[in-house]
Amino acid sequence: MRLEDKVVLITGGSRGVGAACALACAREGAHVAVAAKTVEPDARLPGTLGEVVAQVEALGRGALAIQTDVRFEDQVEAMVAQTVARFGRLDALVNNAGAIFWGDLGAWPVKKFDLVFGVNVRAAFLATRAALPHLRVRGGHVLMMSPPINAKAAVGKAPYLVSKIGMTVLAQAVDGEEEAVCAQALWPVAAVKTAATVNLGMGDDSAWRTPEILADATVALLARDPRQASFRAWLDEDVLRELEGVTDLARYRCDPAHEPGPMSIELVDPDWRRT
């Protein structure tokens, strides 16, 4: 129960990584607020906020679903306010909501550029800014689902990569500016099976891990004393190895017979090597 009675707010919380993080935090004793743009079921996108809330409550923890389009300042500020009004505090913000689109720079539609930047870096800025006054009260965490910086990965993905690296830079700034708030970034080594990786055809089960690897890494980071931790752009494997002592990652395979390799889209530190 490393997060007992802490309150965690997770954007993009209706499915995939966000839902897995919500359940992992609840198992460790946290109350959870989950936010997403839609609340109605969609046959193309399994999972809803209501289902996540029901699963968290079944674990004996408090849960709150908040319909939020993170591109809009008023909705993001209301999201934070509703969380604090319900639970009386806020201990961690997980900026997980994301939009993905790839293509050479000259082929990017402006609307796609605005969407990716709005849902990724701008939304992370809005949510973090709104959460900071509450996180300062007892000390808290901001976690960005964003990568270490690797400029070599930019070809064919530059605007997307810039938006994600922007989230990492925001985390570094917050960590340096806030005495009681620790801000960090987290990114998977192998691709994680989500609606996005499935719909974009980014491999198959043999190439994917389950979202629980990021969820477990999230708990490990949020469980640390924010006043004793400092910024780092983590890879999930490094979190589990260094903080949890976990080296056998077989439990996270989507295909039990295959250990996934690093993502072909290498949004990771170019000096990092699998050990």
160 carries an active-site annotation: yes
Whether residue 273 lies inside any domain: the answer is no
Whether residue 11 lies inside any domain: the answer is yes
DSSP per position, 118-139 = IIIIIHHHHHHHHHHHHHHHH-
Pairing verdict, β 191-192 and 7-11: unpaired
Could you tell me which of 191, 107, 97 has the C-alpha nearest to residue 156?
A: 107
pTM, to two decimals: 0.94
pLDDT (0 to 100) of residue 235: 94
Pairwise CA distance, residues 70 & 72, whole Å: 5
Whether residue 261 lies inside any domain: the answer is no
Which of 117, 125, 160, 252 is catalytic? The answer is 160
Whether residue 263 lies inside any domain: the answer is no
pLDDT (0 to 100) of residue 125: 98
Whether residue 266 lies inside any domain: the answer is no
Whether residue 84 lies inside any domain: the answer is yes
Domain of residue 11, CATH code:
3.40.50.720
Could you tell me which of 143, 247, 249, 151 has the C-alpha nearest to residue 192?
A: 249
Could you tell me which of 274, 214, 273, 213 has the C-alpha nearest to residue 249?
A: 213
The range of the structural domain enclosing residue 160 comes to 7-252
Pairwise CA distance, residues 256 & 176, whole Å: 41
- Paired with 65 in beta bridges are 34
Could you tell me which of 230, 224, 226, 225 has the C-alpha nearest to residue 243?
A: 224
pLDDT (0 to 100) of residue 273: 41
pLDDT (0 to 100) of residue 119: 97
Number of domains in the chain: 1
Residues whose CB is less than 8 angstroms from the CB of residue 9 and which lie 6 or more positions away in sequence, other chains included: 32, 33, 35, 79, 80, 83, 90, 92, 93, 94, 127, 131
pLDDT (0 to 100) of residue 262: 86
Per-residue pLDDT of the chain (275 residues; tens, 9 = 90+): 999 999 999 999 999 999 999 999 999 999 999 999 988 887 777 889 999 999 999 999 999 999 999 999 999 999 999 999 999 999 999 999 999 888 888 989 999 999 999 999 999 999 999 999 999 999 999 999 999 877 666 667 788 889 999 999 999 999 999 999 999 999 999 999 988 888 777 788 998 999 999 999 999 999 999 999 999 999 999 999 999 999 999 999 999 999 998 875 445 454 544 33
pLDDT (0 to 100) of residue 151: 60
Whether residue 140 lies inside any domain: the answer is yes
pLDDT (0 to 100) of residue 139: 97
DSSP 45: B
Could you tell me which of 190, 235, 220 has the C-alpha nearest to residue 92?
A: 220
pLDDT (0 to 100) of residue 261: 87
- Paired with 31 in beta bridges are 7
Whether residue 270 lies inside any domain: the answer is no
